[in-house]
Chains A and B, each alone.
Chain A
């Protein structure tokens, strides 16, 4: 190929400027108006899709977490309930034992009281009987000793009673 005579390489030629402009504007027009908007839209949709997926995953995880929380709560409640029942049973048991013990001791007390009362009664009766018999015996004995019967029954009794009262008084002050 033969070349033409050299031109100044720094100076543009009109026709090349026009060609360059047309060539660039075809590229710019088609890319700017048609192709790049399409791909940008696609890229946005992809971002949306990925973000949507992530969001769905997040939601699923959230639900799983909620469910887990729920199960944990139920489990804790069940444990709590069991503990409560156990506690209640123990309390009841303790209560029953205490009641039984109370009853037993009351019964024992009652028996002891009854025995005491019986003993007191027996003693009082014995005392009563003894007092009469001691009086009679003493009088009898004294009669025999002095040789005469202490005639007056009433006087007899008064003397014996006074004597016994003295005895009791002496016993009381001695005990004091």
Chain B
């Protein structure tokens, strides 16, 4: 990079682009979602999203370890917060869809919720500043687990034929609508469910990161002496607003993903729509 700075013909990068120095506004693009490896071992390239995914794991397990390693009957400190989190998932996500008999799925839902939430939160943590599910692989792998879980549960609990029938026919319908309904229902329950589940998480995080990038780089691009400073300040205010907004979205997406998982599991257990 220092090489490019001393050359007469300046190379524009997001860092050296400023209003009036000949470089245009470095609009964020898909390139911002593809990372240079931190290190490589042979063909294996370790990138920032992988690091953040592992960091999410560490954050979640350390938090819950501190909270629940030696649980007390009368909770103190971190255990209170941990219980709040687990009971939130149990009472707001699991119980409404699965009831008390679904408590066995609590570990899966708690893991999903907190893992996704922490992965999302990296978006607004300084230095990290990237929501892991904005790399779609991390959304797809979780979706795959959810899909396998609810499909397998349906086949085991209802039997393959009944499960397929329940997946294809939503309750009582006239026979003549079947040719239209059955393919739509099957596609919806087997293909579109996981697709929308994954894309919803990915796209929200992707868009949020893009939005933050727009205002961050605009702030940086406009910063300087002169009228640009006013716009830079305005852009920075937007950074703050969007950051607050994203804080909400991160939570909401984890909540929605987990809630939908609970409804899919409930559907597989009960077989009725």
Contacts and interface: CB of A to CB of B under 8 A. Distances in A.
Interface of A: 1-7, 9-13, 15-17, 19-21, 23-24, 26-28, 30-32, 35-36, 38-43, 45-46, 49
Given A6-B29, A15-B44, A35-B68, 19 more contacts: A4-B34, A4-B35, A4-B36, A6-B33, A16-B47, A19-B137, A19-B138, A20-B137, A27-B56, A27-B57, A27-B60, A27-B111, A27-B114, A28-B111, A30-B61, A38-B69, A39-B67, A39-B71, A40-B103
Among B44, B56, B68, the one with the most A-chain Cβ atoms within 10 Å of its Cβ is B68
**Interface SS of B by simple majority:** helix
A43 B80 CA distance: 12
B72 interface: yes
**Interface SS of A by simple majority:** helix
A71 to B, nearest CB: 38
Interface of B: 1, 13, 29-36, 44-45, 47, 49-50, 53-54, 56-57, 60-61, 64-65, 67-69, 71-73, 79, 82-83, 86, 103, 106-108, 110-112, 114-115, 135-138, 140-142, 145, 199, 202, 206
Nearest to B34: A4
A19 to B, nearest CB: 5
A167 B145 CA distance: 149
18 contacts: A2-B1, A3-B31, A3-B35, A4-B34, A6-B31, A10-B136, A12-B140, A15-B44, A15-B45, A20-B141, A21-B141, A24-B57, A28-B107, A28-B115, A31-B107, A31-B111, A35-B69, A40-B106
A12 B199 CA distance: 12
Among A5, A16, A30, A43, the one with the most B-chain Cβ atoms within 10 Å of its Cβ is A16
Contacts of A40: 103, 106
B53 A49 contact: no
Given A9-B30, A39-B86, A16 B64 contact: no
B194 to A, nearest CB: 13
Given A19-B50, A31-B107, A42-B72, A9 B61 contact: no
A8 to B, nearest CB: 9
A96 B50 CA distance: 112
Closest 7 CB pairs of A and B: A32-B107, A16-B137, A6-B30, A12-B137, A20-B141, A42-B71, A3-B31
Contacts of A3: 31-32, 34-36
Among A4, A24, A43, the one with the most B-chain Cβ atoms within 10 Å of its Cβ is A24
B54 to A, nearest CB: 6
B71 A16 contact: no
A49 B50 CA distance: 44
B34 A6 contact: yes
A35 B34 contact: no
A16 B49 contact: yes
B53 A23 contact: yes
B54 A27 contact: no
A20 B56 CA distance: 10
B167 to A, nearest CB: 25
B34 to A, nearest CB: 5
Contacts of B145: 21, 24
A39 B82 contact: yes
Contacts of A20: 53, 137-138, 140-142
